[in-house]
């Protein structure tokens, strides 16, 4: 497809199709989603035959198809698609002329959700360089580790990240450019002011070139750099674009009722795949308005949704819960919302029903994906999710394959639990500087996710637990997620995280950290009595630690189970 070609709409049909019928119809009739076979790194894959070759082409298509449509909003600042593309291109030329960035160079971004983040990201990849988005919650030492690990020599940092980095890097080998409030001799705004060329960079970018190194949560040690290609990111974005066409064929009336121009609220950090891929890049492909939030605040988010007529909200489950409370307090209907999604963690089943009741016009949705899969994975939404709130969903078509395997790599039977493995061109190329970990995770194109799952006769997939998050108490296996699900049913509990506690007699017992809703009260006796009505006695936590603040989270915004386990045990030793 050429950059300025208009997308071809799927055939409009009045009668709803089944899911399989809709998938087949779109793949076979819409050239955008035609599929083909190719070999990548010695392994055969199904790929999109006519997808954009790279992320620069994705931006070119958006600017060509929707030049005057509002694309990016941050407070009072607004960019149309053509204005955003112009600023990206000026930044791209500045990177080359002022900072000598070459194709293949890695450039790090250390900042919160400022508009400079997506501009710089798209500029870096548009000149064939590789972006390294750093976790803005990391310490200076952690930031410096990723910079060294990824061999970065150029970093754009906002004020807090600039101060955190300065004591930990050698300025002779790493150039720091200040963004916004960073007091740096080199300033992004000043460099950009001298760059007037907004033409598209004339640099060749192959589909299988790297576009990013994104760091995983590293719960078992140091964060791991995940090597992601342009094809990988495009495969995810194009699969979601196709999903919109499939949904329209399955429910034509719901599609007809949707807003003409989608509007997405970006509430999670752009240094994670949830925000970067499934919100920003997907929104770019769909011509959506993308409204950035610098920092999460539920009441502020409710106000933005009301004011900007946001149609899509994707956040961690805690944010969805707080949005319910904010909407009630402010008496906002938020009826522009068409989708309320969850990413990063499993949503408690009770919250699914609450959201469906509070926002009846919205489709409540959940998603499973990984940094290693460019966020592509499993999705579930609408009435099927409300009816099956513990399910993860169904594999996103049409490129992915799935197997659930036992310890020897053999596929298990329907209904049996095993490790979830997925194969698609969206999978990572590997882990940076970690060949052994790459070999353990990628086998013949199959990515071993470390998640234990089962698939039912209905085709619904259930994520049971992390492979390494099973508590073995006196020979009995206990799922941390199962106990967490029961804890979340308690009306006083806002967040809960379950982990093993060493025990001389039983090997391990169940421990839990909980954070209560504001103005709520509960103690261990009350919670234990509540759980005994829902769980076998051996699954009820022997010890509960109560936290006065939200529970700590890891690099991908999931509850940091290992850190919580260590902190809680340290409290007992003090």
- Predicted confidence at residue 219, as pLDDT, reads 39
Cα–Cα dist 43/335, whole Å: 46
Query: Which of 201, 229, 257 is the C-terminal boundary of a domain?
Result: 229
Three-state SS for 20? helix
* 403 lies in some domain: no
Output the CA–CA distances (angstroms, integers) from residue 387 to 111, 288, 335, 460, in the order listed.
40, 30, 22, 12
Output the CA–CA distances (angstroms, integers) from residue 350 to 217, 286, 486, 487, 513, in the order listed.
27, 32, 10, 11, 19
* 375 lies in some domain: no
| Burial degree of 104 (CB within 10 A; 0-12, 13-18, 19+) | exposed
Query: Which of 195, 229, 263 is the C-terminal boundary of a domain?
Result: 229
* 321 lies in some domain: no
Cα–Cα dist 516/449, whole Å: 31
Nearest partner of 325 among 345, 354, 347, 349, judged by Cα = 354
* 372 lies in some domain: no
- Predicted confidence at residue 574, as pLDDT, reads 62
Cα–Cα dist 372/214, whole Å: 9
The model's pTM is: 0.85
| DSSP labels, 191-213 | HHHT----SPP-----TTSEEEE
Beta-carbon count within 10 A of 111 CB: 28
Radius of gyration, CA atoms only, the chain: 23
| Burial degree of 36 (CB within 10 A; 0-12, 13-18, 19+) | exposed
Token pair for residue 335? 């009826």
Greatest Cα-to-Cα distance within the chain, rounded to the nearest angstrom: 71
φ, ψ at 350 (rounded to 5°): -65, -30
Cα–Cα dist 398/57, whole Å: 22
Residue-number span of the structural domain to which 512 is assigned: 472-573
* 509 lies in some domain: yes
* 300 lies in some domain: no
- Predicted confidence at residue 349, as pLDDT, reads 86
* 92 lies in some domain: yes
Q: What is the CATH number of the domain that holds 491?
A: 3.30.300.30
State the alpha helices, DSSP H only, in 359-425: 382-387
* 135 lies in some domain: yes
Query: Which of 198, 229, 260 is the C-terminal boundary of a domain?
Result: 229
Show pLDDT as tens, one digit a residue, over the chain (574 residues): 444 444 444 444 468 999 999 999 999 999 999 999 999 989 999 999 999 999 999 999 999 999 999 999 999 999 999 999 999 999 999 999 999 999 999 999 999 999 999 999 999 999 999 999 998 888 888 899 999 999 999 999 999 999 999 999 887 899 999 999 999 999 999 999 999 999 999 999 999 999 999 998 543 457 899 999 999 999 999 999 999 999 999 999 999 999 999 999 999 999 999 999 999 999 999 999 999 999 999 999 999 999 999 999 999 888 898 899 999 999 999 999 999 999 777 788 889 999 999 999 999 999 999 999 999 999 999 999 999 999 999 999 999 999 999 989 999 999 999 999 999 999 999 999 999 999 999 999 999 999 999 999 999 999 987 777 778 787 677 888 889 988 999 999 999 999 999 887 788 899 999 999 988 999 999 999 999 988 878 889 999 999 999 998 876 667 888 889 999 988 876 6
- Match 């995770």 to its residue by tokens: 441
Cα–Cα dist 323/298, whole Å: 5
Q: How many domains does the chain have?
A: 2
- Match 């979340």 to its residue by tokens: 488
Task: Evaluate whether 497 touches 559 at the Cβ level (below 8 Å).
Answer: yes
Q: What is the CATH number of the domain that holds 212?
A: 3.40.50.980
Cα–Cα dist 97/118, whole Å: 20
């Amino acid at each position: 497809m050429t950059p300025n070609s208009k997308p071809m709409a799927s055939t409009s049909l009045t009668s709803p199709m089944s899911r399989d019928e809709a998938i087949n119809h779109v793949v076979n009739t819409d050239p955008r989603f035609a599929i083909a076979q190719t070999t990548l790194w010695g392994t055969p894959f199904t790929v999109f035959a006519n997808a954009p070759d790279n992320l620069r082409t994705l931006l070119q298509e958006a600017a060509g198809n929707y030049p005057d449509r509002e694309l990016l909003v941050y407070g009072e600042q607004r960019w149309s698609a053509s204005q955003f593309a112009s600023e990206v291109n000026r930044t791209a030329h500045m990177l080359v002329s002022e900072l000598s960035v070459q194709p293949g160079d890695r450039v790090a971004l250390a900042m919160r959700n400022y508009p400079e983040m997506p501009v710089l990201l798209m500029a870096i990849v548009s000149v064939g360089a590789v972006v390294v988005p750093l976790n803005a919650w990391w310490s200076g030492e952690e930031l410096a580790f990723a910079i060294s690990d990824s061999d970065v020599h150029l970093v754009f940092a906002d004020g807090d990240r600039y101060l955190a980095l300065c004591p930990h890097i050698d300025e002779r080998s790493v150039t720091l450019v200040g963004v916004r409030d960073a007091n740096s001799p080199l300033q992004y705004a000043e460099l950009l002011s001298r760059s007037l060329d907004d033409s598209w960079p004339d640099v060749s970018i192959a589909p299988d070139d790297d576009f990013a190194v994104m760091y995983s949560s590293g719960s078992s040690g140091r964060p791991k750099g995940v090597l992601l290609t342009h094809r990988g990111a495009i495969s995810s974005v194009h699969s979601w674009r196709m999903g919109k066409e499939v949904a329209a064929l399955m429910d034509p009336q719901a599609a007809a009722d949707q807003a003409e121009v989608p509007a997405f609220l970006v509430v999670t950090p752009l240094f994670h795949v949830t925000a970067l891929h499934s919100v920003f890049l997907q929104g770019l492909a769909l011509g959506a308005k993308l409204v950035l939030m610098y920092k999460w605040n539920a009441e502020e988010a409710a106000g933005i949704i009301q004011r900007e007529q946001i149609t899509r909200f994707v956040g961690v489950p805690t944010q969805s819960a707080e949005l319910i409370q904010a909407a009630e307090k402010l008496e906002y209907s938020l009826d522009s919302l068409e989708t309320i999604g969850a990413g990063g963690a499993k949503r408690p089943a009770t919250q699914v029903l609450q959201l469906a009741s509070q926002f009846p016009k919205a489709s409540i949705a959940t998603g499973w994906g990984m940094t290693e899969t460019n966020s592509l994975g499993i999705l579930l939404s609408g009435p099927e999710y409300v009816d099956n709130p513990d399910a993860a969903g169904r594999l996103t078509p049409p490129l992915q394959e799935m197997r659930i395997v036992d310890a020897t790599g053999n596929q298990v039977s329907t209904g049996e639990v095993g490790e979830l493995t997925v194969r698609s061109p969206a999978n990572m190329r590997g882990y940076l500087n970690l060949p052994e970990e790459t070999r353990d995770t990628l086998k013949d194109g199959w990515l071993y996710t470390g998640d234990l799952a089962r698939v039912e006769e209905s085709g619904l997939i259930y994520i049971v637990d992390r492979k390494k998050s099973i508590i073995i108490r006196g020979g009995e296996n206990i799922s941390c997620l199962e106990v967490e699900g029961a804890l979340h049913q308690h009306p006083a509990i806002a967040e809960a995280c379950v982990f093993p506690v060493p025990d001389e007699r039983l090997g391990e017992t169940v421990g839990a950290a909980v954070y209560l809703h504001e103005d709520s009260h509960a103690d261990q006796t009350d919670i234990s009595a509540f759980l005994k009505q829902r769980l076998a006695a051996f699954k009820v936590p022997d010890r509960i630690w109560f936290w006065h603040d939200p529970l700590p989270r890891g690099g991908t915004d999931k509850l940091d189970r290992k850190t919580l386990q260590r902190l809680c045990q340290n409290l007992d030793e003090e």
